[in-house]
C-alpha cells in the first residue's frame, strides 16, 4: 500500500509546513470567499494554492485562523479535511451558498445545519451509510449566537448534501437528460423537512466526527425561486456570522482550558432573530 507522503495532495502538494494551518479553519467552496475572509482579518497571508485549494492563514482579534477553498463536491472536500487536520486544524466551519427546499426560507436567510442527509457518496468510503452526519454542538451553538449578535435571520435544522450539482439534485442534465430516479429527489427531501442542500457538508461532518474534530455549517440562501436567479444579497451576512462564530469558539476554548470544563455553551439569547 502506498504511503500518504507519495500522494500528490500531501500537504497541498508539499506547500504546507507545520504551523501554516490554524486550529480554526473556514472552508468555503470558492476561492473568492477565501479572499473575502482574509480581507477581514488583521493579518493574512497566502500559504498555498494547489488545484482548487486556495489557503490563507492569519490572525483575527489575536486568534489564529485559516480559510481554505474546497472546490465543489465531496472528493475535494475530503482532501481539505484530511490534509489540514494532519497539520493541526481542529475546528472546521463550512460557509457556503444554497437553494431553499422549504417555502418559508427567503433569499438572504442563513441556514445553520444541525445535521445533513448523506447523499454525498464520498463519506461512504469512510464509514457505513447508517453513521450520521451531525454538526458539533458547540460549533452549532456558536453559529446561532453569532447570527443573533450580527442580527441576521437564520434557521437551524437538517440539510442535505448531494453528489451531483445537477442530476443529483433533480436538475436535468445536458439536452434535458433525466432518469426516473431524479423525479422524487426534491419532493422527498422537502417532505422530510430538509431545509437546504449543498455538495460538501456531509463529507465535512462525517470525517470530523470520525476524527474527533469539530465541524459546523452555515449556508446563505442565494437561489431566488421567484426570479430563478442568483441573488448574493446575504453573502456578507454569512461571512460576518462565521467570523463572529470563530471569535466565540476561541473564547469558549480559552474558558474550557482555564476551568477544565468539557463544554461551554451560550446563555439563552434575550432576543430572537431566527426567521
Q: Which CATH architecture has domain 4-259?
A: 3-Layer(aba) Sandwich (3.40)
Give the helix/strand (H/E) hosting 10.
none
In contact, 58 and 41? CB cutoff 8 Å: yes
- Pick the residue with more confidence: 240 or 2? 240
- Pick the residue with more confidence: 94 or 229? 94
Three-class DSSP category at 44: strand
Question: What is the pLDDT averaged over residues 60-74?
Answer: 96
3-state secondary structure string, 108-167? CCEEEEEEEEECCCHHHHCCCCCCCEECCHHHHHHHHHHHHHHCCCEEEEEEEECCCCCH
pLDDT for position 1 = 44
Whole-angstrom Cα distance, residue 226 to residue 234?
Answer: 16
In contact, 117 and 67? CB cutoff 8 Å: no
* pLDDT tens digits, 122-142: 999 999 999 999 999 999 999
Q: Is the pTM of this model over 0.95?
A: no
Read off the pLDDT band of 102 (50, 70, 90): very high
Question: What does the domain layout of the chain look like in residue ranges?
Answer: 4-259
Read off the pLDDT band of 84 (50, 70, 90): very high
Question: What is the pLDDT averaged over residues 59-63?
Answer: 98
Q: Which cell is 27 given? A: 472552508
Question: What is the pLDDT averaged over residues 23-48?
Answer: 96
Whole-angstrom Cα distance, residue 265 to residue 275?
Answer: 21
pLDDT for position 154 = 97
Amino acid at each position: 500500500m502506498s504511503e500518504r507522503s507519495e500522494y500528490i495532495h500531501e500537504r497541498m502538494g508539499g506547500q504546507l509546513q507545520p504551523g501554516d494551518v490554524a486550529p480554526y479553519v473556514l472552508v468555503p467552496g470558492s476561492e473568492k470567499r477565501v479572499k473575502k475572509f482574509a480581507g477581514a482579518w488583521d493579518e493574512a497571508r497566502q500559504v498555498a494554492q494547489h488545484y482548487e485549494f486556495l489557503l490563507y492563514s492569519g490572525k483575527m482579534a489575536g486568534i489564529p485562523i485559516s480559510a481554505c477553498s474546497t472546490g465543489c463536491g465531496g472528493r475535494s472536500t475530503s482532501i481539505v479535511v484530511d490534509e489540514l487536520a494532519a497539520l493541526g486544524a481542529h475546528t472546521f466551519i463550512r460557509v457556503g451558498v444554497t437553494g431553499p427546499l422549504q417555502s418559508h426560507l427567503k433569499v438572504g436567510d442563513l441556514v445553520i445545519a444541525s445535521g445533513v442527509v448523506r447523499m454525498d457518496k464520498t463519506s461512504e468510503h469512510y464509514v457505513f451509510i447508517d453513521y450520521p452526519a451531525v454538526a458539533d454542538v458547540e460549533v452549532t451553538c456558536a453559529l446561532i449566537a453569532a447570527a443573533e449578535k450580527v442580527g441576521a435571520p437564520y434557521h437551524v435544522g437538517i440539510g442535505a448534501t448531494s453528489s451531483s450539482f445537477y442530476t443529483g439534485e433533480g436538475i436535468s442534465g445536458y439536452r434535458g437528460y433525466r432518469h426516473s430516479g431524479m423525479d422524487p429527489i426534491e419532493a422527498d427531501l422537502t417532505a422530510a423537512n430538509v431545509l437546504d442542500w449543498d455538495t460538501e457538508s456531509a463529507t465535512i461532518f462525517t470525517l470530523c466526527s470520525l476524527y474527533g474534530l469539530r465541524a459546523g455549517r452555515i449556508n446563505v440562501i442565494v437561489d431566488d425561486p421567484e426570479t430563478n436567479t442568483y441573488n448574493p444579497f446575504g453573502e456578507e451576512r454569512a461571512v460576518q456570522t462565521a467570523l463572529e462564530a470563530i471569535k466565540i469558539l476561541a473564547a469558549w476554548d480559552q474558558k474550557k482550558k482555564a476551568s477544565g470544563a468539557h463544554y461551554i455553551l451560550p446563555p439563552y439569547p434575550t432576543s430572537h432573530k431566527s426567521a
